[in-house]
Amino acid sequence: MRKFTSHGTGEFSRSDFRAIGENVILEPHVLVFHPERISLGSNVYVGHFAILKGYHQNEMTIGDDVWIGQQCFFHSAGGLTIEERVGIGPGVRILTSRHREEGWGTPILESSLEFAAVRIGAGSDIGAGAVILPGVTIGRDVQVGAGAVVTTDLPDRVVAAGVPARVLRERPEHVR
């Protein structure tokens, strides 16, 4: 059995980030790991008890005007990009790595990791408790329903929900 080691306390200062914009609110009890691999745009809100888990490789980039609800977990080992004007509901999980299937006789925990980036397009909204799995690209202006598990890419301007998530309909063009 391999030995486990701590990933640290999750404590950080603003100067530890790769980049941080203006008017960034990190509520109490937010944990940040590897902040030197994380860039936050301006006007970003991160709710209480959220975890931004950078990794020793790849980057987490969060654009301007992004709202992240409490108790979210973002893991960016494979790379994570959240474009501008995205809303992410409480309890959302975004994963960018998984254990490979190496067959019988190898415990899953001991199998090697594979990494795959996640991208969330501008203007999208991710409902409370949704899970986004490694390698998924969510298009622009997409609405993901609460509790959905997104396993495949979603095109621009759709509404998707379910386990696994599927496209329910297209969103109408914005009328001003």
- DSSP per-residue string spanning 96-113: -EEE----TTS-GGGSPE
Among this protein's residues, is 99 annotated catalytic? yes
* Rounded Cα–Cα distance for residues 111 and 148 (Å): 27
The one catalytic residue in 48, 56, 75, 99 is: 99
DSSP SS3 for 16 = helix
Element housing 25 (H / E): strand 25-26
* Rounded Cα–Cα distance for residues 139 and 116 (Å): 17
């009890």: which residue's tokens?
Answer: 29
Task: Please identify every residue annotated as catalytic.
Answer: 99
